[in-house]
Amino acid sequence: MTFLKNSYSMVVLALVLGSAAGAAPRRVVVSSGDCKDAELSGQAKALYDRLVSRPGENVLGAADFAERLFPPPSGSFEDIKRQLEAAQGQFYEARHARAAQAIDEVLRQVTRLPPGGARWKLYVDTQLLLAMNQRALGKVKESDDAFRNVLRLEPEYALDPDYYTPSTRQAFDKLRRELARGRKVKLSVKSNLSPSEVFLDGRSVGQTPLVLEVPAGTYDLSVKKGEALSFPRQLPVQGAETPVLVDLAYEGSISASPFPCLASDGDGETELSHAVRLGGTLGVEEVIVVRLEGTHNGPKWLAATVLNVEGGQKLREGGVKTQGLDAPSESLSALVDFVTTGKDQPSLVVAKPNHQPPWEQPSAMLTPEVTEKSGGSVRPLRVLSYVTLGVGVAALAGAGYMRLSLEPEWQELTNPANGHLVDGKISAEDTRGVRLLRDVARKHNTMVGLLVGSGAAVVTGTVLFFLSPNEAPPPVSVGVTAGPDGAGATLSGTF
């Protein structure tokens, strides 16, 4: 009796564990920012690894993420091409059953390749081999279906007479005529990033907004613009019209390699909206968005935001300071504890309502903090305003110096006793007068340029001064001196 009771308990436990193991993932971790940034990917993966090491956590893995959104092929293009060649060998050796299995696997892998001309050619070669193998097995209908998969998108395709018998080519041409006379479905494809290139079964068929008439059937649809690529999808085209709208702004922002990532252009609302939508696409309860913010050389902030998918709301957000390629172990653990339980720790900064966290403050990201000996901090915008004002003052002093330096030459040029000006003109033979006129004109132009630059610098410095934090400004004195022997300017104060 005890044995049976224990056995029953073990069975129940096994069923419970099996059910838990098969449960849908509760969370997914995605990085957000520049998806090509190796440091961002590394930090996000470190947080993911720490999270999945916790007992009881059910987190969607990177491989499952890719399989659900962008199913990758098992090998390279060349690997799949070699698989097709092996299937061709089996067909020519009359091992048609084994060839059929190999061809099915090749087709499955071809649909996972990136869309484009190379994929389409491989797709066509595989469909033609499938058609020939099905004919050899006596499955004429299935053979015709494979031929139609080529002709429906490339009706002008012709079989090579060196490889196909006359009867096969006649059957192929008959199918071509049937498709040409058959009923078509109007397929309209639109994208919110137009013009975008549209691919059916890997073949480019035009740009959005696109309207095509194609035979009814199921097609593999992809839309691409630059590096933005939509999720691959199987599209049933049927009825009188099949309209499709692809949100490429959302789908194209997601990448699966080297780590699940949402490309971000700095718009926080769009980023969070895409993250919540991604969670719905993946069927998880929560999305943890990981960001890396800060200066290129100094310390950075590793921030994590937890989003509830069903409610579409932010649950909590926290961040830790990190230096180099790895976050401190203690800080990373504190951040993982926070995103999973909401527990606050001293090494963690928690974002508060109506308060901008340090990783979102532009000054913290763009300008390193400079500290005085007294413990206060220098205001970079205020210092920049003083520097700009100083430049303006220096330019004004330079203009004054130019005005003084051209005065003797101007006096010599306009003095009637020197005879340079006759009826307001200078003779071309008067080399001294011509040289004086050129020097005066050059110095006058320089003086005007300095005056304009001085005015611009003073205005800019004033604007920067009023834009800087509203604190008591340090005492500043500006002085300008000019006399027969030259000019000068001074800017003094405590910054």
CATH value at residue 325 = 3.40.50.10610
Half-sphere exposure of 20 (CA within 13 A, CB side): 10
- pLDDT computed for residue 295 by the predictor: 62
- pLDDT computed for residue 469 by the predictor: 56
- Distance (Å, rounded) from C-alpha 272 to C-alpha 398? 54
- Residue 368 covered by a domain: no
Instruction: Provide block-wise average pLDDT over 10 residues at a time, the chain (495 residues).
Output: 39 36 78 92 93 92 94 95 97 96 97 96 98 96 97 96 94 96 96 96 97 97 95 95 96 94 83 93 95 75 94 92 72 91 87 82 46 43 69 74 75 72 70 74 79 76 64 47 47 47
Cα separations (Å) of 319 from 28, 37, 306, 330, 346?
18, 19, 12, 13, 11
Q: Per DSSP, which regions of 358-485 are E strands? A: 476-483
Count of C-beta atoms within a 10 Å radius of residue 12? 10
Residue 326 DSSP label: B
Nearest residue to 300 (alpha-carbon basis) of 325, 265, 330, 276: 325
- Residue 5 covered by a domain: no
Structural domain tally of the chain?
4
CATH value at residue 219 = 2.60.40.1120
One domain, residues 125 and 170: yes
Please state the φ and ψ torsions of residue 64, each to the nearest 5 degrees: -70, -35
- Distance (Å, rounded) from C-alpha 194 to C-alpha 104? 35
One domain, residues 189 and 175: no
- pLDDT computed for residue 221 by the predictor: 97
120 lies in which domain range?
77-181
Bridge partner residues of 211 (DSSP): 188
Question: Are the C-beta atoms of 282 and 309 separated by less than 8 Å?
Answer: no
One domain, residues 223 and 203: yes
One domain, residues 198 and 237: yes
One domain, residues 95 and 162: yes
For β-strands 203-207 and 197-200, DSSP reports them as: antiparallel
- pLDDT computed for residue 347 by the predictor: 82
- Distance (Å, rounded) from C-alpha 219 to C-alpha 153? 10
Radius of gyration of the chain (CA): 37
* Final residue in a domain of this structure, among 148, 181, 214: 181
CATH value at residue 110 = 1.25.40
- pLDDT computed for residue 326 by the predictor: 61
Cα separations (Å) of 207 from 119, 211, 420, 445?
18, 9, 74, 55
Amino acid (1-letter code) at residue 259? F
- pLDDT computed for residue 73 by the predictor: 95
Helices 117-136, 77-92: crossing angle, 10 deg rounding: 20
- pLDDT computed for residue 21 by the predictor: 42
Residue 219 DSSP label: E
- Distance (Å, rounded) from C-alpha 489 to C-alpha 162? 91
One domain, residues 105 and 205: no
* Final residue in a domain of this structure, among 207, 224, 251: 251
Q: What is the pTM of this model?
A: 0.68
Amino acid (1-letter code) at residue 309? V
